[in-house]
Structure 1
Amino acid sequence: MQGIVMSNDKMELTDRARAGSTNRRWTRLIPVILVIYIIAYIDRVNIGFGMGQIRESLHMDAAQGGFAAGIFFIGYLVLQVPGGYLAQKWSARKVVFCLMLGWGLCAILAGFVANYGQLLTARFMLGVFEGGVQPALMVLINRWFPKSEKGRAFSLFIMHNPIATVITAPLAGLILMHGSWRELFVIQGLLPLLIGVGLWLWVAADDPAEARWLSAQEAQEIATLKAADGDDSAASNWRAAVKSPYVWLLALMGMLVWLGFYGLQLWLPTLLKTVFKGELTVGLVAAIPPICAAAAIWINGRGADRDGRYNVRVAVPLIVGGVILATSTLITANQPWLVVLALAAATACQLSFFGPYWTMNSTLVRPEAVGAGFGIINGIGNLGGLLGPYVGGWIQDTTGSLALASVFFGCSVILAGIMALALRGAVRRRVSADS
């Protein structure tokens, strides 16, 4: 009887907290996190916009240019686990601050390189510093948001992708109109130092109780919501992450997703540029997929918070996206708007699974394993994006068939969706145990 009374009291307190809970973590913390990762995305991909000038200036061939762009992702793996582990054990705020300083300086130094070797070093170190940022930010989001809000919080984080996709090309083009690739690197490298660092130091806090812009009452409301999810204050333990079968299953799922969605770059974007003519037309049409993706990200993340069906909301976009990838080569230049529709749907599927996926991860990974576990999941997941070009190239070289490569990538994504469904019972048991 006493347990029932305590349970009812806890539910009452939680309901009051939800009713009065502040929106400031949504209007201050999340936008700053979003801005930081938009800047990271820009610094990561800007080499592609200046590649023609870079190759000419540093006397590089096409293979060297490709390796200079790709070496970033090798460096990206170095701090995945340490970044997440230190964020949980020490301070996510301080870890991200230090990494921003490092990546901003590396991005700027890339604008002063004199040869190919120096460019490789700058790009590799840029990847090293940026690699620890995402797991650290995931740890921070996990601390600030209760399970009932994580779908939206993680979804808003991945919103950096469509936003950055829309603004990166015009920004790079504007800089290159008035300067060279060196100015491109320097100006965009200043962004994390001038914008990211200032915003981060003002807004970021490892715990709501430490946030200067949050009242004590508002911090208590968040603490009440978090308490309803169970204890997540355990000390960071990397051994628990390594021993957790869920960490490795979720990491494998992420790798299959990012490996498979590399196939999205094989056919449909090229076909889009073929069937639509004129830079303005292509630019306007190319903006449709990221806009659709942004809408899908929010709808799926919000829906996951409402119904708690994280596995289904991961599986459905992956399976639908996989089918689109597998059949994409059946679409021809005679079907221009079908090209747009397929690319928009596939892009939406590629990104909208993210919020429920990371909510599922935070549910299955034990509190003490979150920091290192998130690093393992994100690091191995990104291996898929690194392996995609090589696997796709090998299949096409061996079989001479783009269609077979597309089928392989589509099946990879579908398999990830099936894995999400297979973990449905485990998620349900963990949610029941924490409630």
Structure 2
Amino acid sequence: MINKESTETEGVGLVPITMETEMTSKVVLPQICDVPYSDESIDSTYRKISWRLIPFIFLCYVMSFLDRINIGYAQLQMKHDLGLSDAAYGLGAGIFFVGYLMFEVPSNLLLQKIGARKTLFRIMFLWGITSVCTMFVTNHFQFFIVRFLLGIFEAGFFPGVILYLTYWYPGRRRSQILALFMTGIVVAGLIAGPVSVGIMEAFNDVYGLRGWQWLFVLEGLPSTLLGIVALVYLTDRPSDARWLSPTQRAIVAHEVENELRDVETGRTTKSTEVFRDFRVYFFALSLFAAVCGGYAITFWLPLMIKGFGVTEPTQIGLYSMIPYALTGVVMVLWSRHSDRVMERRWHFALAAFAAAAGFILIPLSKDSFPLAMGALSLASAASISALPVFWAMPTAYLSGKAAASGIAFINALATLGGVLSPWLIGTIKTMTGSQDNALYAIAAVLVLGGVTVLVSVRAREAAH
């Protein structure tokens, strides 16, 4: 219902309108008339949104990734205590993604229905508790079960945040924002080594518990607390954000709706269309390649560094910071450049090709520690830097309910790379005593992923 009274805010003609949203009953927002908002007011609005949302969800992602990858450091003690082979460890690390795959789409559809606050509370609280429960495993079977449950409970966090950010940011701002969010991977990687090894050494045999058991307790509990905070801190939709002025809420609505109109042609909008859209499967294949590369580094980084001749756990933890430090810098700069030139396809493909080169160089340079660390850092920086650039493409292509199901579906299929690469490395290493052939295979998958994006995604569709 349109009210005839009008107001002027920041020099912009506004007409208050009453609208209903999915998450609230009625919300009054100013509607834009003929006078556009200034660039300064738009930028100011998005700075305010970013300072409100990004630091918190960044911290949540740090804990998410830390609880996911700390197994790589725990296994330095855990493998011996439980009698795990490299193949069994690789399977346990990867089985996380089986549970993750099964529940991603339902979780994202639920987020669209009940909102981010309740969804992230459920996810973080349950995954934190499950991570803590890892301390109780005593054999292979229990290890596999708890990793599977961790995947189930963490399912939906990453695609849920991706979907959540599409409510707030138009496509032209999305790659940089996703890069800032995804630097949580980098920070988790930077602190995982020294913090995890430090906990295992400092708390080993305290109250009769091994260091790896304390690791899961002390790194799992913060996630449960952050879940509770999410319930009271986050805002489900821009229209619900009382910390924004009415004009700022209207700016967000204007920016997002303008983008929807600009790219509406050819968009997939219905959730049922997602599963019949061949391009969604091409997106998933491309992301699968980057995920293979990223998780090969994530789960095997400590043992790769150990294979370069470093034997002390403390030194392994410190050296593991080098690839992640480089990754953080490259990811932000690469995403910023992608947003500036409004190009996604080649930014993803070149990152995938560079990551492939890194994986090929790791076995060829392992006799030289500096060269091996350089190759490892290249593989890490390039494969992980491809991720925020990638997500700017499907979020521009999908909208409405298709975005909720499509983002989760793409991510779910791609996370099979998180099953494949850890298992492949562990199995080949157990069979041959070397992981070299597995790294070459991962390089080939990365090349395939880069080529797939170039062939299947139109340049115009990726320029948002």
State the TM-score bracket (shorter-chain normalisation).
Answer: 0.7 to 0.9
Contact 2:268–2:398 (CA<8 Å) still a contact in 1?
Answer: no
- Does the alignment pair 1:428 with 2:460? yes
Amino acid at match of 2:240: E
Residue 224 of structure 2 corresponds to residue 193 of structure 1: yes
| Other-structure match for 1:286 | 320
* Alpha-carbon contact 1:321-1:346 (below 8 Å) kept: yes
Q: Distance in 1 between matches of 2:34 and 2:349?
A: 33
Report the Cα distance in structure 2 between the residues aligned to 1:395 and 1:55, rounded to whole angstroms.
17
Cα separation, 2, equivalents of 1:360 and 1:273: 37
Greater shift in the superposed pair: 357-366 or 201-210: 201-210
Query: Which shows bigger deviation, 415-424 or 24-33?
Result: 415-424
Asked if the contact 2:92–2:144 (Cα under 8 Å) also holds between the matched residues in 1, the reply is yes
Residue 372 of structure 1 deviates from its aligned partner by: 0.9
- Return the alpha-carbon distance in structure 2 between the equivalents of residues 64 and 144 of structure 1: 42
Q: Which has the higher helix share?
A: 1
* 1:316-344 Cα shifts (integer Å, max 9, x gaps): 111122123234332242x4332232222
1:207 counterpart = 2:237: yes
Give 1:5's aligned residue.
none
CA distance in 1, matches of 2:134, 2:340: 45
Please give the alpha-carbon distance, in whole angstroms, between the structure 2 residues aligned to 1:28 and 1:392: 40
Distance 1:332 1:49 in 2: 21
Match of 2:215 among 184, 193, 200: 184
Matches within 5 A, 1:14-413: 15=39, 17-51=41-75, 54=78, 60-62=83-85, 65-112=89-136, 117-176=141-200, 177-178=202-203, 179=206, 180=210, 181-194=212-225, 196-230=226-260, 237-260=270-293, 270=304, 274=308, 283-333=317-367, 335-392=368-425, 404-413=437-446
Q: Classify 1:191/1:397 alpha carbon distance in 2 versus 1 (closer, same or farther; 3 Å).
A: closer
Q: Return the alpha-carbon distance in structure 2 between the equivalents of residues 269 and 61 of structure 1.
A: 14
Q: Tell me which moved more, 113-122 or 409-418.
A: 113-122
Give the secondary structure class of the aligned counterpart of 1:428.
Answer: coil
Distance verdict in 2 for CA 1:271–1:101, change over 3 Å: closer
Corresponding residue of 1:4? none
Check conservation: 1:49, 1:172, Cα contact below 8 A. Answer: yes
Q: Tell me the SS of whatever aligns to 1:202.
A: helix
Q: Secondary structure at the match of 1:322?
A: helix
Seen in structure 2, the aligned counterparts of structure 1 residues 337 and 50 have a Cα distance that, compared at 3 Å, is: closer
Per-residue CA deviations over 1:268-292 (Å, capped at 9, x if unaligned) read 9736753567666655443221111
* Cα deviation, residue 156, structure 1: 1.4
Q: Distance in 1 between matches of 2:106 and 2:178?
A: 21
Identity among equivalent pairs (%): 27
Instruction: State the one-letter code of the partner of 2:354.
Output: V
CA contact (8 A) 1:331 1:338 kept: yes
Structure 1 spans left out of the alignment, 5+ residues: 1-7
Give the 3 Å change call, closer, same or farther, for CA 220–203 of structure 1 in structure 2.
Answer: farther
Change (3 A) 1:28 1:390: same
Q: 1:11 to 1:397 in 2, by over 3 A?
A: farther
Asked whether the 8 Å contact 1:144–1:208 carries over to 2, the reply is yes
**What whole-Å deviation, never above 9, does each CA across 1:90-141 have from its counterpart, x for those lacking one?**
3232211111222122223333456655444333211101012111111101
Task: Say if 1:393 and 1:47 are closer, same or farther in 2 by CA, change over 3 A.
Answer: closer
Distance 1:222 1:47, change over 3 A: same
Distance in structure 2 (CA, Å) of the matches to 1:423 and 1:68? 34
Distance 2:154 2:250 in 1: 33
SS in 2 for 1:353: helix
Q: Deviations over 1:67-106 (max 9, x none)?
A: 4444322212121111122222432322111112221222
Pair 323,207 (structure 1): closer, same or farther in 2 beyond 3 Å: same
Please give the root-mean-square deviation of Cα atoms over the aligned residues, in Å: 3.4
Cα deviations across residues 189-238 of structure 1 (Å, max 9, x unaligned)? 211122x1243123322212213433333222222221221259999843
Q: How far apart in 2 are the matches of 1:184 and 1:399?
A: 31
Structure 2 distance, partners of 1:270, 1:430, is 36
Check conservation: 1:326, 1:408, Cα contact below 8 A.
Answer: no
> Which deviates further from its counterpart, 415-424 or 163-172?
415-424
Post-superposition CA distance 1:217-263 (Å, at most 9, x none): 32222222212212599998431221222211101111223235556
- CA change 1:226–1:284 in 2 (3 A) is same
**Alpha-carbon separation, structure 2, partners of 1:78 and 1:403:** 31
Distance between the aligned counterparts of 1:338 and 1:332, measured in 2? 7
Would you say the 8 A contact 2:357–2:379 is kept in 1? no
Note the C-alpha offset of 1:429: 4.5
Amino acid at match of 1:225: E
C-alpha distance in structure 1 between counterparts of 2:255 and 2:321, whole Å: 38
Distance 2:222 2:301 in 1: 33
**Contact 2:45 2:248 survives alignment (8 Å):** yes
Distance 1:304 1:11 in 2: 30
Amino acid at match of 2:215: L
Quote the Cα distance in structure 1 between the aligned partners of 2:442 and 2:99.
Answer: 25
Q: Does the CA-based 8 Å contact 2:130-2:149 persist in structure 1?
A: yes
Against the structure 1 CA distance between its residues 31 and 112, is the aligned structure 2 distance closer, same or farther, given a 3 Å change threshold? Answer: same
Secondary structure in structure 1 of the residue aligned to 2:54 = helix
How many residues align structurally?
421
Consecutive unaligned residues of structure 2, counting only runs of 5 or more, are 1-31
Q: What is the rounded CA distance, in whole Å, between the counterparts of 2:439 and 2:140 in structure 1?
A: 34
| Cα distance change of structure 1 residues 206 and 240 upon mapping to structure 2, 3 Å threshold | farther
